[in-house]
Amino acid sequence: MLSALDSGICVAYLASVLLVGAIATYVSRRPDANINDYYLGGRRLPWWALAIADVSSYIDIAGTMINTALVYALGVRGLLIEIRGGLCLFLAFQLAFTGKLVRRCPVRTKGEWILYRFGNSLSGQVARTLVAVVSLVGGVMGVTYFAIGGGKFVTEFVAVPAWGGLPSEFWAAGGLMLIALCYTIIAGFTSMVLTDVYQSIFIFGSFILVSGLGMRKVLPDTFHVYLPTPTADRFLNFTVSRAAWSAMDLHLHVPISSTYSMYNAFTPIVLLYLTLVSVRSASGPGGGGLQTVLATKTEREVRSQTFLAMVLLLFRWGFTAGVCVLAIGYTTAHPEVVIDPERVVPFVLARVLPSGVQGVVVASLLAAALTTFDSTINSASSYWTIDIYQALLRPAATTKQLLWHARLSTLAVLLAGWACSLAIHTINRVWGFMVVAMSGGMIFPYFFAWYWHRFNAVGCATGIASGVATAVVVFFGFPQVAEYECFLWSAGASGIAAVASALATSPTNGRTLRVFYKRVRPPGLWTPLAETCLATEERCETARENRRDLACTGLILVAQLAMYVLAVSVVVQAWTQALVLALVLVVLAPVIYVQWYLKLNNTLETPDKHRPLLETDDEDDM
């Protein structure tokens, strides 16, 4: 449990958050506020504030505990497992081209984007509603995931009573969510961003502090780590050398008695995750990331905020490495101590860090929990308010009615996710379903929508429905099936259903396609639209721009991954590996700058406000 000093630091931090949140809520309120202010801040916020708030929302307690568990148990190579989501490699695609493409669309949610892409026909409305429902459910699951991790974390340090027959973790998570709700529910996005910027001071300050403490500890030549087993309270003592643990080696040999042996097919799994992330990331940002992109003022600001977010994330991986080194050092000195890999972070905070530092780091991770809670509930509620309530139930709703539904749905998402945390207990299981299994069911419909002009709303709706249904059946009905196998099932079912149903039905009407292409100009199979909508010179310039973006995406992706592995390598003092990675960055940086950044085209108009979406055309004049 926390000392009086550390408890005081945490209480002071939480009180300061409530104070800053109250001030942010007050300054954010406008007499003419509308639903765009509530969800996008009226597109008035500076890009750097959006970047800081955005990246802080990616640094949640549960995700940090999983990332640290993988690096602790599998070594530096464990970081590559988080290609599936934790590394946030979608930022490379967002920086290169998907961010600007999304920002060119006059929309506020993914559901509205579906309507903008496919038109306001019956099939377009069905696809939009399905996307809204799936996104809303995904938001609830996100809250569940964060509630489990946050509850586990808090109860490591605070004696929260188990009240009403419900576990202490449940009430601990509820307390955190209540604080986040206080500064989010009234004014929405603007107050959330301002409060998150304040909380980021704690997050990044403590990350730098723990990274420094980790660098002061030199690992022994051989040491032991603990691996999880199918039995929840039993862990396997596994001896490994420092050289093997710190090397970025793609070979893994975990004993079959550990549940982490599912990663022994390491290279194929990493390549599968990389393929998944590449296709998913090429389909544009989603969730809170989409909200942040749409809240920027211009395409250039999208790139600026994305680059800053990408750089700030390296401190998270320095923190992860520092915690792992400190944990290994402690168990080396105390061989009788057993560590649950998923609880390495709270273990180090409770057993290793000195008083004072412990309070600061605990406060920073509470900040990480709050910034994730607030962004998730605010983003998820937009799908109810805009894509379901306003679009289907009350098209003529007043601004006052929309704002009330925004607040009520924010509360509903939070309560639903909190309640679901009672039924699920393993954060890695929730994370696997969210970012692997369910994503597999949506990956191809979104991808085809961006890059294939013949794809239509029927194909999109059918693909998402069949993919998500397959993911649910396989993941929960056959729990012995590995994550990557579940992804293959859901992605396969979704892709086949999407293509077959699109080809079997009429294409999207020509006017809708021309309006979409002329404004957005995505790469891919859009030649008929390019020839119709653009003059020869403009068409050639668009093609050159798209080729540059696609070519440099790979370079940016390699640079991002190298940057994060470099941060870990420096903290664990793998100096040769760190030197190689630094040289990679030195070579890539000028190439990206000269071949891509200096040639960016910012002449296309970026919509500065939401515009009415297309009405249905009865004829297809393509």
Per-residue pLDDT at 615 exceeds 80: no
Pairing of strands 222-228, 235-241: antiparallel
Residues 6+ positions from 414 with CB-CB distance below 8 Å: 143, 177, 181, 373, 377
Nearest to 278 by CA among 416, 486, 59, 83: 83
CA distances from 395 to 121, 384, 398, 422 (A): 16, 13, 9, 36
User: Cα 44 vs. chain centroid, distance in angstroms?
Assistant: 23
Tens digits of residue pLDDT in 364-401: 988 988 888 888 899 999 999 999 999 999 999 999 99
Per-residue pLDDT at 277 exceeds 70: yes
Per-residue pLDDT at 617 exceeds 60: no
Q: Report d(CA 487, CA 467) in Å as an integer.
A: 9
What is the band of 620 on the pLDDT scale with cuts at 50, 70, 90?
very low
Structure tokens at 588: 């890539």
Q: Are 180 and 410 in contact (CB under 8 A)?
A: no
Nearest to 321 by CA among 617, 587, 571: 571
Burial class of residue 504, CB neighbours in 10 A (0-12, 13-18, 19+): exposed
Q: Write the CATH number of the domain with boundaries 4-429.
A: 1.20.1730.10
Per-residue pLDDT at 443 exceeds 50: yes
pLDDT of 599 reads 81
Q: Report d(CA 70, CA 431) in Å as an integer.
A: 13
- Rounded to 10 degrees, what is the CA torsion of 65, 67, 73, 74? 180
Check residues 485 and 125 and name the one with the higher pLDDT: 125
Tens digits of residue pLDDT in 318-366: 999 999 999 999 999 999 999 989 889 989 998 999 999 999 999 998 8
Per-residue pLDDT at 126 exceeds 90: yes
Per-residue pLDDT at 253 exceeds 70: yes
Per-residue pLDDT, averaged over 252-260, amounts to: 90
- pTM given for the model: 0.90
Structural domain boundaries of the chain?
4-429
Per-residue pLDDT, averaged over 83-103, amounts to: 92
Q: Report d(CA 16, CA 187) in Å as an integer.
A: 18
Identify the helix (H) or strand (E) that includes residue 190. Answer: helix 189-215
Q: Report d(CA 503, CA 170) in Å as an integer.
A: 48
Per-residue pLDDT, averaged over 588-600, amounts to: 89
pLDDT of 57 reads 87
Tens digits of residue pLDDT in 32-58: 889 999 999 989 999 999 999 999 988
Q: Which amino acid belongs to residue 449?
A: A
Per-residue pLDDT, averaged over 233-239, amounts to: 90
Give me the phi and psi of 425, to 5 degrees please.
-125, -15
Tens digits of residue pLDDT in 185-196: 888 899 999 999
Residues 6+ positions from 597 with CB-CB distance below 8 Å: none
Structure tokens at 207: 């990350």
Per-residue pLDDT at 448 exceeds 60: yes
What is the band of 146 on the pLDDT scale with cuts at 50, 70, 90?
confident
Mean pLDDT of the chain: 89
Q: Are 29 and 190 in contact (CB under 8 A)?
A: no
Degrees to nearest 5, angle at CA 591 with 590 and 594: 80
Q: Report d(CA 30, CA 445) in Å as an integer.
A: 39
Check residues 124 and 481 and name the one with the higher pLDDT: 124
Per-residue pLDDT at 619 exceeds 60: no
Check residues 429 and 187 and name the one with the higher pLDDT: 187
